[in-house]
Structure 1
């Protein structure tokens, strides 16, 4: 059996989310099948695959090559389980010889940079887009969880956002749909610091739309459009209405706001289990993940740290540098 023939059979049995399925399909059709689709499974060797991956690294980002390798490893591991191979030719990464490549860490920003970023977003679009960035950084929610957040899933009386099993917005081949968040652990409740509860409450009083965050015209958000028109110029710098904006952090992505949130929690000394529950992660230690819990006092300390961080950022903001920034600040700060 060739790898291409096995891939057709393997594809029928995968059970992943729509986004992951589209991602797998892209890696298969663009990289794996063109090179290995006609090869017999038994003809694949570790040396051939290593040479191929080495060549890919000269043309693609390391993250892309890593994803390709992981998918190929998954396909071949399942071939072993099926009895088509005695062992997989994709060896563990820890055994790969060659040059050590420096680890590239995801860019993140502090609370002062976040408020500056939000101020720019308010000027490029509306205060709603600024509030989206603030909510992302102060909750750690993913893009899809925020873009699909329904107003009914915000409990502003108790200060909680509920990410439900159908509460994430997916974009597959240009089509938007609501579906399951990234993992089972992603279905969760995220507590909100008081300032964010107040900002969201004010926003919802002025909006009748079902989704909390939308485009200026009230349509569901598309990540690529938001990135191109708002996030990239705000983070990487641009010239807006004759005013030059230097970069805040050129490598920052929207997902970097989630990294920022976790970094803030670490800085505030929040335990790993509380971080994991808030971000929708599971701990690697299964015992800790099963038996560890977040005490109310820890949650109180977590929210107090975020509230203090917000107040610190307000003290550094100069509203005159971003005329529309005051629209999404509390009255006291705006004045």
Structure 2
């Protein structure tokens, strides 16, 4: 039974006649709990009776836990909830740069949605980063509710207020002046050379993410998909995406910086692990590349190591944005001028080009989501599955898009050495077994390098 107890104030080491009331109440383990600071005995006893009623109902929250500082629990949360390396780094960046400076010493039980919503509007960052910060705070508060530190998460399912001032409501300049085209990918690939160029074409026509492309190995490149199709069999080359290369700032259990790492990891989710059908022209180019490339990873540096983003950008950005001519002088070689292809173009935009092409050629939703590595929302993902007809339709559409782009550019070869001869197309897909194999592609004529007699080795560095 809860009861009130007088607590006399002390001044200069001596007890005075002034006092407040402290509540004493039974804890779930049978010990006596204490809560001071009540003005009257009735208020103390009423508060204690409510605590004992909540304890009996199993809904009690320890008042001492409600006083836990947000920063203290956030560090506990980060050490307990393991995520992929790059996700951990991004979370720590948001905590250290934006969240903890405002909320580190705030008691969990005193955080309100009004205060959080007001704070996020004042953050001097882009709106999407504000959303990430609020989302991370909400995730931590939900974990605190699960740990019975607070009764509920006050941030759950709340809609942020957007800043509608003139500066924020003014439309932002688009990163790209227009949407990328297949012609842009081909021109960029031609300019970068066969090794880097193949990475560009694979991203534009198969859609792997940056890390997924780097994570491909020989044993997962140009495998064959085999499925029954009518009275025959559907066979096509695939890229098996199960791993990716991640580059990020590694963090210790308490958020300490341990330096940047570049390492292989599983794909980000189950939807990202997939087999992507490869159109014939790209399968042909990849087969030549694998013949000549001496390293395990098809898309790597000239020494076989995974690309770092900064190193990749040194050649990729000038190829997209253009560069000035550099005259030859002592110790410096001549460098030709490059006209811009599409300023601002990046690998993410090339991945988006693949999905745009899928929409343009009418790829059915089950296959479009699968090829892009996206998890299709809704119940339909359990009912609708890709069929060989859908797969052939996608391959034909991507092949035609590539051929049309080559024709519009007036190009018949890539890198001056590969003559792309279009393989014959069967008229009756249902009655003839389709075998899109490397043997068929090798029937196309290849033009060897005049210097090395090989197809790609002389330009391995791009």
User: In angstroms, what is the RMSD of aligned CA positions?
Assistant: 2.7
Mapped contact 1:146–1:168 kept (Cα < 8 A): yes
Could you tell me which of 387, 394, 400 is aligned with 1:308?
A: 400
Mapped contact 1:118–1:130 kept (Cα < 8 A): yes
* Match of residue 135 from structure 1: 202
Match runs of 1:1-335 below 5 Å: 1-56=68-123, 59-90=124-155, 92=157, 94=159, 96=161, 98-99=163-164, 101=169, 108-122=179-193, 127-155=194-222, 158-164=236-242, 167-173=243-249, 174-226=260-312, 228-240=313-325, 241-250=335-344, 252-285=345-378, 287-317=379-409, 325-327=415-417, 330=420
Partners of 1:103 and 1:270 in 2: how far apart? 32
Shift of 1:259: 1.2
Mapped contact 1:131–1:328 kept (Cα < 8 A): no
Name the structure with the higher strand share.
2
Larger Rg: 2
Query: How has the CA–CA distance of structure 1 residues 2 and 170 changed in structure 2, closer, same or farther, with 3 Å as cutoff?
Result: same
Partners of 2:200 and 2:187 in 1: how far apart? 11
How many pairs align? 322
Q: Which blocks of at least 5 consecutive residues in structure 1 are unaligned? A: none
Query: How has the CA–CA distance of structure 1 residues 195 and 319 changed in structure 2, closer, same or farther, with 3 Å as cutoff?
Result: closer
- Aligned to 2:324, the other structure's residue is in SS state strand
Q: Which blocks of at least 5 consecutive residues in structure 2 are unaligned? A: 1-67, 225-235, 250-259, 326-334, 422-444, 449-462
Query: How has the CA–CA distance of structure 1 residues 104 and 186 changed in structure 2, closer, same or farther, with 3 Å as cutoff?
Result: farther
Partners of 2:75 and 2:374 in 1: how far apart? 32
Query: How has the CA–CA distance of structure 1 residues 301 and 98 changed in structure 2, closer, same or farther, with 3 Å as cutoff?
Result: same
**1:88-144 CA distances to partner (integer Å, 9 max, x unpaired)?**
34364646365285699885411111112222322xxxx200110100111110111
TM-score, normalisation: structure 1:
0.87
Mapped contact 2:417–2:446 kept (Cα < 8 A): no
Query: How has the CA–CA distance of structure 1 residues 308 and 98 changed in structure 2, closer, same or farther, with 3 Å as cutoff?
Result: same
TM-score, normalisation: structure 2:
0.64
Mapped contact 1:136–1:142 kept (Cα < 8 A): yes
Query: How has the CA–CA distance of structure 1 residues 192 and 67 changed in structure 2, closer, same or farther, with 3 Å as cutoff?
Result: same
- Residues 82-91 or 1-10, more deviating: 82-91
Query: How has the CA–CA distance of structure 1 residues 308 and 334 changed in structure 2, closer, same or farther, with 3 Å as cutoff?
Result: farther
Q: Which has the higher contact order (CA 8 A, sep 6+)?
A: 1
Query: How has the CA–CA distance of structure 1 residues 243 and 77 changed in structure 2, closer, same or farther, with 3 Å as cutoff?
Result: same
Shift of 1:218: 2.5
Partners of 1:35 and 1:140 in 2: how far apart? 40
- Aligned to 1:233, the other structure's residue is in SS state helix
Mapped contact 2:279–2:399 kept (Cα < 8 A): yes
Mapped contact 1:130–1:328 kept (Cα < 8 A): no
Shift of 1:12: 2.7
Partners of 2:155 and 2:341 in 1: how far apart? 41
**1:142-189 CA distances to partner (integer Å, 9 max, x unpaired)?**
11111111011113554111112xx21112332221110111111111
Shift of 1:4: 0.8
**1:242-292 CA distances to partner (integer Å, 9 max, x unpaired)?**
424125142x3311112111111111111222111111211121x111121
Partners of 2:218 and 2:75 in 1: how far apart? 41
Partners of 1:105 and 1:80 in 2: how far apart? 41
Partners of 2:209 and 2:175 in 1: how far apart? 15
